[in-house]
Structure 1
Amino acid sequence: TIADSTRRIQNNLRPDKLDVFGIKAAISEQAYEFEKSTGVPCKANLPDESLSYDPRLNIALFRMVQETLSNVARHAGATAVTIVLDDNEDEVMLTVRDDGVGIAADRLGDTSVHGLRGLRERANYLGGMVKISDAGARGTTVTMTFPKLPVQHR
C-alpha cells in the first residue's frame, strides 16, 4: 500500500533504530546482518561507554557502515571484516577493515565510483574526511573521521 511504501521510505531516510537504540546497537546489528547474509565474519569494536552524537552524525555513521559493508560484499572477496568506532574529545573515527582483494589504486580517487563518492560527500557535508587505504591482497581499510558536532535534538 501507499502507507507501507511511505513508511519504508521514511525508515530508509532515518532509521528508527538509531533513535531507539543508538549508534552502537545499530552498528552491531549491521555487523550481525552482514555476517548472516554473507557468511563473512564481521566484528564490531565499539566503545564501552554510552555515546551521544548529533543525529546527523549518527545517520552518517550508520549509512557509511551500510555503504562500506555493501562494497565489501560486492567487491572484496573478504573472509573477515572489522568495524571500529572510536572517539575522543574532538573527533569521531569509524574504520571498516577487510582482508579481501583490495581496491585498484586508480579507483581510489575515481569520483565516478558511486559508493566511494557518496562516502566522501557525506563526510564532507559534516566537515569530515574519508581515507581509503589499499593493502593489496591484504584488503582495504576505510577510515572516516568527523569533528564532534554539538548535539542538536529534533
Structure 2
Amino acid sequence: MADTVDKATRSRIMARVRSKNTTQELRLRHALHARGLRYRLHDATLPGTPDLVLPGPKTVVFVNGCQWHWHGCTRSRMPATNRPYWEAKIARNQARDQANLNALVALGWRVLIVWECALKSSLLDSTADEGAEWIRTDNDGATVHVIPGASVETAGN
C-alpha cells in the first residue's frame, strides 16, 4: 500500500520522532534523580549511546521503546503495511541492541534495560525502585538486568 501522505510530510513526521529525551526517558530520569542517583546523559563514546551513564557503579541505562526495539508486549504491533520492511528493520534493531549490550559488558559495564511499558504511571514507582536497587547493589555479579513492564504474553502482532 502506498503512503497516504507526500514525501515532504512523511519526512517532517519522522523527523519529530526523537531518540533522546523522550517522555519515557524523562520520567525515568526524574524518578531515579528523586531516589538520589546522579548520572550523565547520552555518552556517545560508549557503544549504543546509553540514555543514562552512572560512572560510579559503572552502570548504563537504556530506555527501550516497545515498538522500535520490540519485546512483544501489547505496545509492540507490527505495522500492517510494508510488513517485510518492518520485520527486517526490527530484526536489525534487535541485532544492534545485542551487539551494543555485548560490547558494554565486555568493557566492564553493567547494563539496565527498562522497557517503555514499565514506565506507565501505574508502574513508574516500582520500576524506579527496582532500577535504583539494582544499580546500588552488586546483585551477585549480574551484568545485565531487564525491567520488562507489561506481560509479553498479551502481545498483539
Higher relative contact order (CA 8 A, sep 6+): 2
TM-score normalized by the length of structure 2: 0.29
Q: Which of 1 and 2 has greater Rg?
A: 2
TM-score normalized by the length of structure 1: 0.29
